Amino acid sequence: MQEYEITFIDKGVTAPAGVKAAGVHAGFRKDPNRLDAALVVAEGPHVTSAGVFTKNVFCAAPVQVDRELLEKHTAHAVILNSGNANAATGEPGLDIARKTAQATAQALGLAEGEALVASTGVIGVELDWGPFEVGIPALVNALSKDGGHDAACAIMTTDTHPKECAASFEFEGNTYTIGGMVKGSGMIQPNMATMLAVLTTDMPLGRSSAKEALRRAVNVSFNRVTVDSDTSTNDSVFFLSSGAAPVPQDDDEAFNVLAYALRAVCENLARQIAADGEGATKLVTVNVRDAASDTDADAAARTVANSPLVKTAIAGHDCNWGRIAAAVGRSGAAFRQNDVDIDIIGMPVLRAGLPCGFDEDEALKRFEADEIVIDVSLGTGKGGQARVWTCDLTHEYIHINADYRS
Amino acid sequence: MQEYEITFIDKGVTAPAGVKAAGVHAGFRKDPNRLDAALVVAEGPHVTSAGVFTKNVFCAAPVQVDRELLEKHTAHAVILNSGNANAATGEPGLDIARKTAQATAQALGLAEGEALVASTGVIGVELDWGPFEVGIPALVNALSKDGGHDAACAIMTTDTHPKECAASFEFEGNTYTIGGMVKGSGMIQPNMATMLAVLTTDMPLGRSSAKEALRRAVNVSFNRVTVDSDTSTNDSVFFLSSGAAPVPQDDDEAFNVLAYALRAVCENLARQIAADGEGATKLVTVNVRDAASDTDADAAARTVANSPLVKTAIAGHDCNWGRIAAAVGRSGAAFRQNDVDIDIIGMPVLRAGLPCGFDEDEALKRFEADEIVIDVSLGTGKGGQARVWTCDLTHEYIHINADYRS
């Protein structure tokens, strides 16, 4: 992948020209001080949109509604609520998701179908219309360039802090910007939370370019985060372009730099999700290289990242190459055990399938870092590679997920 | 599957005629009171053997040696040690595994290749010959019909108790018996433990019948246990027949009843493993039915059983159908969400994809049971089914696997 020069800026989803946002307390949550509804709107001469949604067979009502809407319409806005996921709610759930999208479009003066909807929180509980009745006008009223942070706060569930990112780059003498916000994929009592992300830009884009750039970026970012295994019922990533910046001359090159910058912003947000996994004390990055294929590398990296034994070892600051080797060995990736090298936080621990001595004190020192990097080479000579992010598995995870009833 | 009448008896691996065993302290472990070497021997007019081994690419030296031996020879004996897994030990590890097999065969007056070898314990540490020098004669000397319990104790690692099972059945007016012992699949500091099982019988069997009966039994028992995800480097299941009971007349029917009884013994042992998973307080049985295929059912059941969210919910006595639905939904099994029913400990919690109210007090009462049963019907009309056993995920698991260094 070619590298371009991009600059991260201390902003969020509203960083691009033409993008406004808001976050308010609408009443989905009981605590009046907690924001629970967010709105992101792209205004400009050439609005484009794209979305990527969960592959879980159990998918929430808003996911089903958004898929329908995006087939026929361009989205200019996304309304999001936390506190209730509107999942496993049957026909009434679909009705309220459609009504929310419609009312939001209307309040913004958009055509029908131009607003999308997302929900996160408990599942299997009917979503009340009441809070939207208050929330939609309040959100439209609060829309501003400064509303990105409130929006990021309003979609939080078990997240310990809001997650935002923005970056800008020069192209053909003009500045373009990408913004984003996300909430994490941890799971929460009594049911499940989800991953929701909104990405924005001001670069004018074709519909298929927006879709392709988003697909690529999600594949190497949000799809590479695993906290407690996989997609939930509500996972949704939205991408809105206002088109408010100048139209680029060189379409192909504009797409390349946009895709590069979008990927960088999504990677940054994905790492924030992994680092803030439930009970996490460490961000864990698993790199697998020299696999027989990228697919094999992906299987190996995911098996390591999902292994409770690897994750508890990291929580215990234990340089446990055996658990990593065992996970790689059962991942389905093709390799020979005598070709495998493993490094933990830059220290060689396995070479050609055999353990190498390492300095235990040095290992303990390196485990103080916030990010633990595991590098595995399968030594097939074929060059397949993959990277996956996760977090360690701690008592706090068990506490969050098991103890609330006892 | 046809049902036959079998009777469980309070014995272990030596229950069948012609089978002896022993367990001694040979010195693989420091504690002189802890048994760490076991021997099981089948003596009779028609000895047969079979083995099933880990599919992990990282497989231990004894696994490699046993695979070679079983291709050319019939095993009459298995020697097992705990404390060191002889895994990731390179050529020296293979040499010592071969030497152990050879010395054991010699000490028993068997031909070369007629004894197999198994190890469990730390990996990546060279296995000393010394303890075998003491242990092999001591084991041979201690061999007896009463030695099954000592043998079962000698192979324990993180197991909290030895695991034995035996059953007998009548066929053509004669009594036949199956015995077995197993150690669990939990993982332990500083590296990994494994699943080792020895099954025995006195029914005279052809080589291919023994192999096929074992393959079928393992597929629906040990291969359906998941504590922290999958096969380790040393997993091995051995099956020895002494042939000391009368030769059956009806070969086909004899195979059927033998396969049935072997499966019953293996299921019993598999459930013992799951119930004694590290930190476990509950045995969890996941049944999936009416999937599009048995393969789909298996994928769904395993995804539920491996889900840390499902397992922590059970530890927290939480009737959390949402986490079960989400796991099934991402398992890759084909179904429609509106066709799914879920029951937890016999209580309907989801019908046709929608939550049904249940009595919370009744749920808490039912969660007091030692075994938690989850039933999922995918409602495809195709009848695919699978059963998987696991355990809950508790603070104690994290304690065992993370805390030993801090």
Q: Which H/E stretch holds residue A285?
A: strand A283-291
When CB atoms are compared, the residue of B232, B313, B327 closest to A402 is B313
Interface contact A336-B395, CB threshold 8 A: no
Instruction: Please give the C-alpha separations between residue A183 and each of A152, A219, A271, B225, in angstroms, as whole numbers.
Output: 8, 17, 12, 34
User: How high is the mean pLDDT of chain A?
Assistant: 92
The pLDDT value recorded for residue B401 is 72
Cα–Cα nearest to B319, from A87, A404, A157: A404
**A269 vs A330, which has greater pLDDT?**
A269
Confidence of residue A1 (pLDDT cuts 50, 70, 90): low
Contact A296, A324 (CB under 8 A): no
pLDDT confidence band for B312 (50 / 70 / 90): confident
pLDDT single digits (tens) B341-385 = 999 999 999 999 999 989 999 999 999 999 999 999 999 999 999
Which residues of chain A have a CB within 8 Å of the CB of B90?
A: 338, 353-354
Question: How close B301 comes to chain A (CA, Å)?
Answer: 15
Give the contacts of A340 (CB within 8 A, at least 6 positions apart): A325, A328, A350, A352, A353, A376, A377, A378, A379, B58
Alpha carbons within 13 A on the beta-carbon side of B192: 33
pLDDT of residue A225: 87
What pLDDT is recorded for position B20?
Answer: 98
d(CA A258, CA A279): 34
Q: In A, which residues are within 8 Å of B55 by CB distance?
A: 330
Q: Is B246 in CB contact (< 8 Å) with chain A?
A: no
Name the residue with tokens 């494994």: B194
Q: What is the mean pLDDT of chain B?
A: 92
Asked if B194 contacts B85 with a C-beta cutoff of 8 angstroms, the reply is yes
Q: For residue range B173-186, what is the model confidence (pLDDT) as tens digits?
A: 999 999 999 998 66
What number of helices (H) and strands (E) belong to chain A?
11, 16
Residue position matching structure tokens 């209307």? A106
Catalytic residues of A: 194
Under 8 Å CB-to-CB from B219, ≥6 apart: which residues? none
CB atoms within 10 A of CB B348: 15
Residue B355 is nearest to which of A124, A189, A303, comparing CB atoms?
A124
* Residue B90 structure tokens: 């390179």
Domains for chain A: give ranges and CATH numbers.
7-275 (3.60.70.12), 283-405 (3.10.20.340)
Contact criterion met (CB below 8 Å) for B25 and B153: no
**Model confidence, pTM:** 0.88
Residue type, B323: R
Best of A312, A335, A376 to substitute, by most chain B Cβ atoms within 10 angstroms, is A312
Whether residue B287 lies within 8 A of chain A, CB to CB, comes out as: no
Q: A144 and A20 in contact (C-beta within 8 Å)?
A: yes
Q: Which residue in chain A has the smallest CA separation from B401?
A: A312
Give the pLDDT of residue B403.
59
Using alpha carbons only, how large is chain B's radius of gyration in Å?
A: 22
* Residue B53, strand partner residues: B236
How many Å apart are CA A148 and CA A135, to the nearest integer?
A: 16
Pick among B309, B310, B331, B403 to test the A interface (most A CBs inside 10 A): B309
What gap in Å lies between CA A262 and CA A275, rounded to an integer?
A: 20
Q: How many residues appear in chain B? A: 406
d(CA B62, CA A41): 64
Please give the pLDDT value at position A227: 65
- The contacts of residue B230 (CB under 8 Å, 6+ apart) are A330, B56
Cβ contact B29:B146 at 8 Å: no
Which residues have a Cβ under 8 Å from the Cβ of A273 and sit 6 or more positions away? A163, A182, A184, A185, A195, A222, A225, A227, A389
Amino acid at A239: F
Asked if residue A131 has pLDDT above 90, the reply is yes
Q: In what order do the strands lie in the sheet with A283-291?
A: A354-355, A347-351, A341-344, A371-377, A283-291, A384-391
Separation CA A198–CA A52 (nearest Å): 11
Q: List the single best residue of B330, B340, B368 to mutate versus A (max A Cβ within 10 A).
A: B330
Of the two residues B182 and B276, the one the predictor is more confident about is: B182
Q: Between A and B, how many residue pairs show a Cβ–Cβ distance under 8 A?
A: 197
Option in A320, A350, A354 nearest B190 (CB)? A320
Place of tokens 């104790």: B153
For A194-242, the pLDDT digits (tens) are 789 999 999 999 999 999 999 999 999 998 888 655 667 889 999 999 9
What is the SS3 assignment for B22?
strand
C-beta separation of A186 from A157 below 8 A = yes
Please tell me which of the candidates A191, A323, A337 has its beta carbon nearest to residue B57: A337
Distances (CA, A) of A246 to A251, B18, B360: 12, 88, 60
Taking only the tens place, the pLDDT of each residue in A148-200 is 999 999 999 888 999 999 999 999 999 999 999 999 866 433 344 578 999 99
Q: B47 near B241, Cβ under 8 Å?
A: yes
Residues 160-219 of chain B with CB under 8 A from chain A are: 187, 189-192
Neighbouring residues of A176: CB distance < 8 A, sequence distance ≥ 6: A16, A168, A169, A170, A201, A202, A203, A245, A257, A258, A261
The pLDDT value recorded for residue B55 is: 87
**A8 closest CA partner among A266, A218, A220, A211:** A266
Q: Tokens 């990527």 correspond to what residue?
A: A52
A39 close to B (CB below 8 A)? no
The C-alpha atoms of residue A387 and residue A36 are separated, in whole angstroms, by: 33
**Residues of B with a known catalytic role:** 194
Residue B6: per-residue pLDDT? 97
Task: Render pLDDT for B16-40 as a digit per residue (tens, 0 to 9).
Answer: 999 999 999 999 999 999 999 999 9
Residues of chain A contacting residue B325, judged by C-beta atoms under 8 Å apart:
58, 88, 233
Q: Determine the average pLDDT of the residues in A249-272.
A: 96
Say yes or no for a CB contact (<8 Å) between A228 and B308: yes
Q: Is 60 exceeded by the pLDDT of residue B404? A: no
Buried b vs exposed e over A177-209: b needs ≥16 C-beta within 10 Å?
bbbbbbbbbbbbbbbbbbbbbbbbbbbbbeeeb
Do residue B325 and residue A58 have CB atoms under 8 angstroms apart? yes
Determine, for residues B88 and A189 on separate chains, whether the beta-carbon distance falls below 8 Å: no
Q: Do residues A70 and A211 lie in contact, with contact meaning Cβ atoms separated by under 8 Å?
A: no
Q: Is the pLDDT of residue B219 over 50?
A: yes
Residue A228, pLDDT score: 59
Mutate to test the interface with B, among A185, A191, A314, A344 (most CBs of B within 10 A): A191
Q: Taking 70 as the threshold, does the pLDDT of residue B111 lie above it?
A: yes
Residue A38, phi then psi, degrees to nearest 5: -135, 150
Predicted local confidence at residue A188, as pLDDT: 37
> At residue A108, what are phi and psi to the nearest 5 degrees?
-95, 0
For residue B338, list chain A residues with Cβ-Cβ distance below 8 A.
90
B312 has a chain A CB within 8 A of its CB: yes
Question: What is the biggest distance separating any 2 CA atoms in chain B, rounded to whole angstroms?
Answer: 67
User: Bridge-partner residues for B77, per DSSP?
Assistant: B41, B115
Q: What is d(CA A395, CA A402) in angstroms, rounded to the nearest whole number?
A: 10
The interface predicted TM-score of the complex, written ipTM, equals 0.83
Token output for A191: 């049911």
* Contacts for A357 with CB less than 8 Å, ≥ 6 apart: none
Q: For residue range A18-28, list pLDDT tens digits in order.
A: 999 999 999 99
pLDDT of residue B190: 36
Q: Under an 8 A CB cutoff, do B322 and A350 touch?
A: no
Average the pLDDT over B226-247 and give the result: 86
**What phi and psi values does residue A387 have, to the nearest 5 degrees?**
-130, 135
Nearest CA in chain A to B227: A308
Residue pair B307/B226 in contact by the 8 Å Cβ criterion: no
| A67 C-beta neighbours (distance < 10 Å), count | 14
Residues above pLDDT 90, as percent of chain B? 77
Put simply, whether B281 touches A (Cβ < 8 Å) is: no
- B2 to B109, B217, B256, B260: CA distances (angstroms): 41, 14, 8, 8
Contact in structure between A293 and A343 (CB atoms under 8 Å): no
Tell me what the mean pLDDT of segment B81-86 comes to: 94
Residue B320: C-alpha distances to residues B225, B315, B323, B360 (Å): 22, 11, 6, 11
CA distance A338 to A352: 5
Q: Is the pLDDT of residue A112 over 90?
A: yes
- For residue A65, give the amino acid letter: V
pLDDT in tens, A14-52: 999 999 999 999 999 999 999 999 999 999 999 999 999
Check CB contact of A64 with chain B, cutoff 8 Å.
no
Contacts of A303 in chain B (CB under 8 A): 229
Cβ <8 Å between B402 and A336: no
Average pLDDT of the residues in B73-87 = 96
Chain A neighbours among B 4-33 (CB < 8 Å)? Answer: none
Give Cβ neighbours of residue A111 (< 8 Å, ≥ 6 apart).
A73, A105
For residue B250, the Cα-to-chain-centroid distance in whole angstroms is 30
- Compute the C-alpha angle A160/A391/A319, nearest 5°: 140
